[in-house]
Chains A and B, each alone.
Chain A
Amino acid sequence: MTTPQKQLTGAEALIKCLENYGVEYIWGLSGGAAIPIFDALVGSKIKLVLVRHEQGATHIADGYARVTGKPGVVLVTSGPGATNTITGIMTAHMDSVPMIVLTGQTISPMLGKDAFQEADIFGSTMPFVKHSYLVRNTNDIPRIIKEAFHIANTGRPGPVLVDLPKDITSGPFTGKTLDPAMDIPGYKVAGKGNLSDIKKMAKLFKNSKRPLLLIGHGAVIARAGDAIKKLAYKLQSPVTNTLLGKGEFPETDPLSLGMLGMHGTAYANLALTRCDLILSIGSRWDDRINGNPAKFCVGAKILHIDIDPAEIGKILKPDVHCIGDARLIVEELLKHVSPCDTKEWIAELNGYKKKHPLKFDTSKGLTAQYVLYELQNAIQGNAIVTTDVGQHQMWSAQFNLSKDGRKWLSSGGAGTMGYGFPAAIGAQFGAPKDLVIAVVGDGGFQMTFYELATVYNHKLPVKVLIIDNKYLGMVRQWQELFFDNRLSGVDLEGNPDFVKLADAYRIKGVHIDKVEHVAERLKEAIDFPGPVVIWAEVIKEDNVFPMVPAGKSAYEMIIEPPKAKLEKPTGST
């Protein structure tokens, strides 16, 4: 950390602090109230990436953060510039992604006077941030930035917003240091967990014949994968994962059951109905997983590892819990467990795997599942895959067998359409040598496709695979299954020719509409050294199965397409 030599402005002090914290990129969009900060970026070693919409900046920062484990930094102006970040902030908050959002603001004397482009972004983002600041004094900037980075990326990570009035950023910085002490006595981070809790967990494994490990995003954030592999092998316990826990334990491993939950594999959900112990490592028993908490893993011992004390007992009351870092706790737990006798249990689960494999039909035309099956064949879990939200997301989660938690990015908690493509851009910035593929729907892609300009400008070789069924497919599926096929607000009539759209941005386009072209054209796109938009036109009416209707438990899973009408689900969305 350096001490300032010449008189700095607040904005210059801010940028120096960001440089000192190792910030490589800022994704942003300029505007009047943020001009002093953009000015201070001229000549900085931080690379400024001008996006086309502030929501794009937040999802790009999110993708970068998930891939690198470092906070993504966003810089926007006041008013609409700031409010356009809210969806991205909420997305990051729901999935515990570290992010710093810097917003310009009107000058301090005008605050609260409905000044031009004034929005109370400090107030309006409160429910979606881990913490936020409205800076009232230029000399506070270094402390606030230090606290912001500390808060964003320790404990359970999350977004931190710093609102910076223009007079504060353009005013003189007269502080003594750019590295002052933090002042956050109310902030505590859980560490390695309580040993007696860990021993209690180990004891419960001793009596278990049918254990199950559930891997959530917390395990990915803590990089607990290696410890979990050792634990699973020592216990000989099968492993399932949430949507966001994909890959931290390789889904290609014989002990893996893949994803559980609403559209999880049949065998993972059947395991829930049969296990006598389930240990969640960094999963919050979200409603996509438990369906109905009262009927979740009935009779099984519930064990819960989480860094956030508020997650303990929020949805399920565990028999034993341990609060702390997932990796440190699993490493300790490993020392106290002995192998379980799970031969029969694994044989039972292997039976389910044989009986209910993931499948697809190529006889009626090109299906999304087939395209994603061929994508899996082409990349074998070695690419970073991001998704949007909807049917393609669930099929992707089913067919893309992840081998690394940081190579699977999806908006899980928020379910934000428009996330996948900009997240892939952020992933590519964070991992420039990796193959990055955004699997998106025709609906979601049209919410953020304008970042094709960002891809072109920065020569990012991102591949975008559009699964185009000309519907908001997941909602159409619900309307078909639960609402007598009364389609309402789901027909995406008027979709563009996505190859021409790509061409307009000088980006290569590849069109797929026949089964026999899939493998070859995917390969052509993947082998191409630059960005490619792959437009896969698939059959319009197709449904994701297995399905556990919202509000139901795994016991009521629908594995095959139902022949009779289903009752309306009671659970949320």
Chain B
Amino acid sequence: MAYFLQQLINGLTLGSIYGLIAIGYTMVYGIIGMINFAHGEIYMIGAFISIIAFLVLGLAGITYVPLALAVVLLITMFFTSIYGWAVERIAYRPLRGSFRLAPLISAIGMSIFLQNYVQIFQGARVKPMPPIVQGGFTILDSGGFAVRLSYLQLFIILLTLVLMVGFTTLIAATPLGRAQRACEQDMRMASLLGVDVDRVISLTFVMGAALAAVAGLMVTLYYGVIDFFIGFLAGVKAFTAAVLGGIGSLPGAMLGGILIGLIEAFWSGYFSVEYKDVSVFAVLILVLVFCPTGLLGRPEVEKV
């Protein structure tokens, strides 16, 4: 029971991170119908920028942890968003309206490019990050196995919740969110009614990148090591989360992320650590084969 609870906490933390990345996939897919293959790389860049920001703050002498966290969060979101914007502008916008495989291949190229870009300029070795949020509290202590919820895990889960609430409000209640939903339904009609479609799509990428940046910051804090290759697996898993939740649906992405996090945590807790990635890929294949609309997705109608 205690072990189960511990895996549940670990899974929820991991799932929050996947969920934040998954939102980027699901929003982009909802609006322009493509898999932003480079999104995992955006998350990786977010992780790198956060580690760099921590180092710079450390040199500047800001060591008060809550302040440092807040500043790093903003810096990371800002710079990573620019990457998200630039990727869309360079690799996807010229291909809008092109045949359907072109943006996907361009995205794969972008992903390879970004990975190697980071590898060249930041080095191929893993980047360690000393733990800056330590401690936690013990929830349950049974038979020598203590279930611990660290402050960091609490921070990650709470921050995800706050972001989700803020983000849902943004989509539901602001003019930008309205424009975005309009584009999602019918891009041409939206543009006829005065919505600047290019701008909305750009902002979608910016928002997706900002959330991925938060996920990058979280993973830096949580695991304490990052390298240039973390984006690939996290990207595929987050995409799986988006598909599982129903692609195009925001709550679905979050739900899917948490489910994937739980599956991974329980699989490595009870079965085998080696095959934990296989479990996620297997879920992806099973969902796509048996329930391609996902848990909360709308059925897709193919128009001729």
- B is a partner of A: no
